Amino acid sequence: MEIAAVLREFGDLLEIKGSNPFRIRAYRNAVRTINDLTRSLASMVEGGEDLTELPGIGKEMANHIGELVEWGELSVLEALGQEVPRSLTDLIRLDGVGPKKAKRLWEELGVTSVDDLEQALEEDRVAGLAGFGAKSAEKIFRSIEDFRKHQGRFLLSEVDVLVRPLIRYLEEVGVVERVEVAGSYRRRKETVGDIDLLVLSEDGHEQVMDSFQAYPGVVRVEAAGGSKGRVVLRSGLPVDLRIVPRDSFGAALHYFSGSKEHNVAIRTLGVKKGLKISEYGVFSESEAEAGDSGDNKVGGAEEADVFSAVGLPWINPLLRENRGEVEAARAGELPEALKTQDIRGDLQMHSTWSDGANTLREMAEACRDRGYEYLSITDHSQAVTVAGGLKPPQVREQWEQVEEVRQLVGGIHLFRSLEVDILKDGSLDMPDEILAGLDLVLVSVHSFMNMPIAEMTKRVIRALEHPQVDILAHPTGRILNRREPFAMDVDAVLQAAAELDVAVELNAHPSRLDLHDRHVRRAKELGVKVAINTDAHSVQDLDLMRYGLDQGRRGWLESGDVLNAMSLGEFQVWKDRKNP
Ligand code: DGT
Ligand code: CA
Ligand code: CA
Ligand code: ZN
């Protein structure tokens, strides 16, 4: 169903672009075939079936489906999106707008998104176009309201590339002294609804607002007042900006960083101390404590003022979800945040042996250059045919190359490893003698993801019971905004991992971040080691570690909880824990 949706989107873009009708039809036919299937495509792919035997599925289409089954992503779609704004496909979802009308709106009115279309409707520019009457304009208006109720959230990695240039731009505005991002982005929540910017500027509000609205990435200004504005960037990301004076900047930063639940907890503590805490500052209810300026403000320039007013140390924004951080702060038991240098190795990545872009040697060198002490390359096993999974003889061949790379690349240790598929019944997709020959065995689910919860839980626990298993990779299978986690009793799986002495992965890829932060915290509580791995498919992807670190911090991990924060020596001991 999701695969059909992606192929449909691709077909939509081709049609909006006005591509060859045969090519468009190929995608439409493929979508129809897939929608008519009685079995899941994923299971057919994993069963090694030849998809080109299906009506309307050619070789190219079969390859696309393979890519989608493994990654939920289609690279040719990314490429086409450079030519035709992908946001145009949102228009087609609106009742009353088809591909032809979307094309006309784009070419004649410059409309590229639902926001643009709404604006064009408001300015009465649509009803005059050929094919659009007053009635259809009215209908489109109503369907936009519907569309708004179902809009998605943004991945941190998507937001990072949009926010950094915007901050740099604002910092260049002469009257701006300081720019901070608050909200869920500052808390490094896995997805972000909108960006909340705070700008320190004593005077020159007008210049700040004008510059903000004139930012080249802005497609639409939603609100613009004296000290507050909201715009929408071309990508659809809304940005709130507030101009704040120096003496309340810290209070505003605290307030707008949230979460709302954390703020409520802090405010409640304040009330008990006779303090009123708001985005403007910390105020004493008693006149006696009035400050020098004659008002009763007792702080607010620094964020630490807010915490110290209620007798707490500063709390890392990544912990501010009101999940016990206030109590822990009071007891002096806040976790010590993970540092980049705590990570000594990366234990999941792919090479050209399966679906990665770089060789073993290149991956090893890149890890060494990052200062890691060890790495393990975890190409897929045979069941994951779409990602070039390895058969046992290839695994043995790879070991020979591992040996060569060990000789060639000094200063880092390369482990023999694999990402072994957990089959439908919980058995592993590799014979025992291969498993025994690996230094490190990762296991993960890539097929039959729609099982009932009890069955899936049993399946995964059975896999963990295999004595060679070291790490359960991307435990819930979710892909943010694309695929829900599969139904599984995560707590039961974590308890089994604790009993069986198996580690769980926090997959750092920003579209996975799997485990979820609450489950990371639960793993820590249960004493289950967490491996923060990038699942890199290229040397560049090794940079994704920072998303895993943030998620680990949100899950209260400390370096002692993290498997790959062990030194090489400690790790060698750990990996042989079951057969010393
Ligand atoms: P988002 O944008 O949905 O990813 O999540 P946030 O947390 O960025 O939420 P947002 O943008 O609505 O508001 C930013 C922060 O402002 C929020 O984290 C806490 C603060 N805030 C907003 N509305 C309220 C409120 O009604 N009460 C309190 N205490 N804080 C609020
Ligand atoms: Ca926000
Ligand atoms: Ca906001
Ligand atoms: Zn995987």
Tell me: the pLDDT tens digits for 181-236?
999 999 999 999 999 999 999 888 999 999 999 999 888 888 888 899 999 887 78
Is residue 288 pLDDT above 70, yes or no? no
Q: Determine if ligand 1 sits within 6 Å of the CB of residue 27.
A: no
Residue nearest to atom 16 of ligand 1 (CA): 256
Atom of ligand 1 nearest to the CA of 185: 8
Q: What pLDDT, on the 0 to 100 scale, is given for residue 419?
A: 96
Which three-class secondary structure state does DSSP give residue 506? strand
> In DSSP terms, which residues pair with 536 in a beta bridge?
349
> In DSSP terms, which residues pair with 228 in a beta bridge?
242
Residue nearest to atom 31 of ligand 1 (CA): 260
Q: Which of 153, 184, 228, 271 to mutate to test the pocket of ligand 1 (most atoms within 8 A of CB)?
A: 184
How many other β-carbons are positioned within 10 Å of the β-carbon of residue 392? Answer: 14
Positive or negative, the CA dihedral 418, 421, 426, 430 is: negative
Cβ–Cβ < 8 Å for 13, 81: yes
Whose structure tokens read 């949706």? 5
Residue nearest to atom 3 of ligand 1 (CA): 193
**What span, in angstroms and rounded, lies between the C-alpha atoms of 199 and 171?**
9
Angle formed at CA 379 by CA 376 and CA 384, multiple of 5 degrees: 150
For residue 82, how far is its CA from the centre of ligand 2 (angstroms)?
27
- Among residues 109, 179, 105, the alpha carbon closest in space to that of 136 is found at 105
Which residues are CB-neighbours of 197 under 8 A, at least 6 positions away? Answer: 166, 167, 170, 179, 180, 181, 182, 239, 240, 241, 242
- Among residues 472, 454, 386, 456, the alpha carbon closest in space to that of 74 is found at 386
> Beta strand pairing status for 503-507 and 471-472?
parallel
Positive or negative, the CA dihedral 458, 459, 460, 463 is: positive
Residue nearest to atom 23 of ligand 1 (CA): 260
For residue 309, how far is its CA from the centre of ligand 2 (angstroms)?
25
Q: Determine if ligand 1 sits within 6 Å of the CB of residue 193.
A: yes
Atom of ligand 1 nearest to the CA of 240: 11
Q: Determine if ligand 1 sits within 6 Å of the CB of residue 345.
A: no
- Among residues 525, 522, 526, 447, the alpha carbon closest in space to that of 486 is found at 447
Q: Determine if ligand 1 sits within 6 Å of the CB of residue 184.
A: yes
Q: Determine if ligand 1 sits within 6 Å of the CB of residue 398.
A: no
Q: Determine if ligand 1 sits within 6 Å of the CB of residue 259.
A: yes
For residue 193, how far is its CA from the centre of ligand 1 (angstroms)?
10
Atom of ligand 1 nearest to the CA of 263: 29
Q: How many CA atoms lie within 13 A of 427 on its CB side?
A: 6
Q: What pLDDT, on the 0 to 100 scale, is given for residue 160?
A: 95
Domains of the chain: 3-149 (1.10.150.110), 155-330 (3.30.460.10), 340-575 (3.20.20.140)
For residue 465, how far is its CA from the centre of ligand 2 (angstroms)?
42
Is residue 312 pLDDT above 90, yes or no? yes
pLDDT, one tens digit per residue, over 476-526 is: 999 887 778 999 999 999 999 999 999 999 999 999 999 999 999 999 999
- Among residues 29, 39, 38, 36, the alpha carbon closest in space to that of 8 is found at 29
Q: Determine if ligand 1 sits within 6 Å of the CB of residue 192.
A: yes
Which residues are CB-neighbours of 158 under 8 A, at least 6 positions away? Answer: 235, 237
Angle formed at CA 73 by CA 238 and CA 469, multiple of 5 degrees: 115
Atom of ligand 1 nearest to the CA of 258: 18
- Among residues 153, 28, 30, 43, the alpha carbon closest in space to that of 98 is found at 28
Is residue 1 pLDDT above 50, yes or no? no
What pTM was estimated for this model as a whole? Answer: 0.77
**What span, in angstroms and rounded, lies between the C-alpha atoms of 170 and 220?**
17
Mean pLDDT of the chain: 92
Angle formed at CA 355 by CA 354 and CA 361, multiple of 5 degrees: 70
